[in-house]
Structure 1
Amino acid sequence: MTHRGLAPDGTIAREGALDRVPPLFAPVIEAARTLIATTFGPPGGPLPDRPGRPPRLHSAYLYGSIPRGTALLGVSDLDLQLALHHEPTETDRADARALEKALDDAFPQIDGVGILLTSRATLLSDLERHDLGFFVACLCTPLLGPDLARDLPRYRPTTELARETNGDLALLLPRWRARAADAATDTARRTLCRAVARRLVRTGFTLVMPRWNGWTSDLTDSATIFGDHYPARAPQMRTAATLARTPSPDPAALDPLLEDLAPWLAAEYATVHGTKTPRP
């Protein structure tokens, strides 16, 4: 039983589980499990057809709406995190892209596949303890291999967690603006609009997370909780939540987010929580 996404001891409860996967998505998950093991090798062992090759895969995880049980047929994407025994190589990335395409082409239930590749050492590092470590421990659902959450702490909705998860918004603004200027197709503009809107809603939520004292990944709930603390900015955040679900190719939809909401949010975040520890 959870309250505001928290376990009885006040720590953030893991939000997904395999038994929450909607039945229509179950074949997608089984295919992903098989293809990951075939492509990257079974966790802890070499590829069966290449016995001399060192093992690549430590563990694999689901995240997003499918393991939360809120996925929409033909709309939601499949999100996967692979923990490797080594830092990802170009070969690993090429294999992941091929796996993404194979799953996306095979299943009309999903609209796209995204695979994150990260080394086990990075996920367990002190630097990533309150960012990628939190992501694996609380937002990811184990699919294959040993669960890295066993080697990570229990997390609470603190200002440290807020700072290390979303305290780098100011660094993203120049990149987003450059991508907006270069976006030449409706597809590119929709992709950017969705990414920007999602990040702003999640950042808005974590800005107020310690005061609200809880956790949610639901975008509508996140916008509402933010708006309760910043009513003057509530309409903009509701718009961002709408665009995160149904992105628009119209620059007039994205521009207010990039030029008004995002700069304000970055400055307010730095004032309230500070900025994220710099990464290499």
Structure 2
Amino acid sequence: MSTDQDYLSSVSQSEYQPVVRELVTYLKSGLKDNLHSVYLYGSVAAGRAIPYLSNIDVVVITHRPFSDTKTTLFNTINWRFQRAYPFVNGVSIRTALVNEVASLEALFTWGFLLRECCVCIHGEDLAECFGHFVPSWEIAKQWNMDTVDYLPVIRQQIATATGQASQIQLQRKLAKKLLRAAYSLVMHKEKRWIEEPLECGQRFLRYYPQHEQTVARLNILLGTRVIPKRSVVGLLDHFGSWLVEEYKKTEFKIG
């Protein structure tokens, strides 16, 4: 059986290894026998994290709910890690129960996430419950069905953001979401799962070249320059609305 050390060796950016190691230790201490497994995904898992911009994305699987202590535990983790490791821009944690993950209903959600996007860094790897996925429209729908609800939320966050650091983080978050959602429109044609935002944009343009200027602007939002809020919100409204409608059209065609 693989050990935590075996899993942690897969974190290719050496400066993040002690961060991930301490995170696992803290989760084991806080959750004890309720902890089933821990997974890393996103830029740190992919080896392309940017110090002072990237956060650490984690999935925590437990045997039982722990809603009574979840907020305190996760807030404490963020507080400790932002002070001990200032180059980490927060720890983002998603949670699920073992019986939710290892189910047929979770095939295109948790199954796909764990198998294709995550690295197990502690415990029994539930990704082994699933075979490899062929990128499909069904997967694209599952991962972007929240776009219509997500856009108004981040729009409000951007409009009310205070401070350059906060706005830059929100700009990057928005750009990643839109570029990945755009690529998901054509993922069933490309037959490849791609997470890196810049490549998502380039692949999308193969089928929608008329959006070249929009993709170029989204790429700018991935940078570290503050863009006027009016421009960011305008881009969100225009391209976000188009994406929502295009998903409806594609669903009508494919079903």
The reply to whether TM is greater than 0.5 is yes
Aligned pairs (5 A) from 1:17-166: 18-41=9-32, 55-166=33-144
Q: Matched residues, percent identical? A: 24
User: Is the Cα–Cα contact under 8 Å of residues 22 and 69 in structure 1 kept in the other structure?
Assistant: yes
Matched, 1:231 2:184: no
Matched, 1:270 2:252: no
Deviation at 1:186, TM superposition (A): 4.4
Structure possessing the higher relative contact order (Cα contacts under 8 Å, 6 or more residues apart): 1
- C-alpha distance in 2 between matches for 1:156 and 1:82: 25
- C-alpha distance in 1 between matches for 2:110 and 2:17: 26
The 1:40–1:245 alpha-carbon spacing in structure 2 relative to 1, beyond 3 Å, is farther
User: Is the Cα–Cα contact under 8 Å of residues 11 and 17 in structure 2 kept in the other structure?
Assistant: no
Deviation at 1:221, TM superposition (A): 0.7
The 1:231–1:79 alpha-carbon spacing in structure 2 relative to 1, beyond 3 Å, is same
User: Is the Cα–Cα contact under 8 Å of residues 75 and 111 in structure 1 kept in the other structure?
Assistant: yes
The 1:171–1:76 alpha-carbon spacing in structure 2 relative to 1, beyond 3 Å, is closer
Aligned to 2:172: 194
The 1:192–1:96 alpha-carbon spacing in structure 2 relative to 1, beyond 3 Å, is same
More helix by share: 2
SS state at 1:144 partner: strand
Aligned pairs (5 A) from 1:190-269: 190-246=168-224, 248=226, 250-269=228-247
User: Is the Cα–Cα contact under 8 Å of residues 8 and 17 in structure 2 kept in the other structure?
Assistant: no
User: Is the Cα–Cα contact under 8 Å of residues 130 and 164 in structure 1 kept in the other structure?
Assistant: yes
The 1:122–1:241 alpha-carbon spacing in structure 2 relative to 1, beyond 3 Å, is farther
The 1:24–1:87 alpha-carbon spacing in structure 2 relative to 1, beyond 3 Å, is same
User: Is the Cα–Cα contact under 8 Å of residues 21 and 69 in structure 1 kept in the other structure?
Assistant: yes
1:83-105 deviation digits (Å, cap 9, x = unpaired): 11123404123202211221221
1:49-78 deviation digits (Å, cap 9, x = unpaired): xxxxxx321100111112212223333222
Deviation at 1:266, TM superposition (A): 1.0
User: Is the Cα–Cα contact under 8 Å of residues 40 and 121 in structure 2 kept in the other structure?
Assistant: yes
- C-alpha distance in 2 between matches for 1:206 and 1:121: 28
Of 179-188 and 67-76, more deviation after overlay is shown by 179-188
Deviation at 1:234, TM superposition (A): 2.1
The 1:247–1:94 alpha-carbon spacing in structure 2 relative to 1, beyond 3 Å, is farther
Deviation at 1:33, TM superposition (A): 1.9
User: Is the Cα–Cα contact under 8 Å of residues 61 and 81 in structure 1 kept in the other structure?
Assistant: yes
The 1:65–1:165 alpha-carbon spacing in structure 2 relative to 1, beyond 3 Å, is same
- C-alpha distance in 1 between matches for 2:225 and 2:61: 30
Deviation at 1:170, TM superposition (A): 1.7
Structure 1, unaligned runs of 5 or more: 1-15, 42-54, 275-280
SS state at 2:124 partner: coil
The 1:272–1:247 alpha-carbon spacing in structure 2 relative to 1, beyond 3 Å, is farther
1:138-193 deviation digits (Å, cap 9, x = unpaired): 11100111011122232111111111111331222333344345445545544433
- C-alpha distance in 2 between matches for 1:238 and 1:88: 43
- C-alpha distance in 2 between matches for 1:163 and 1:217: 15
Deviation at 1:262, TM superposition (A): 0.4
TM-score with structure 2 setting the length = 0.86
- C-alpha distance in 2 between matches for 1:176 and 1:112: 18
SS state at 2:107 partner: coil
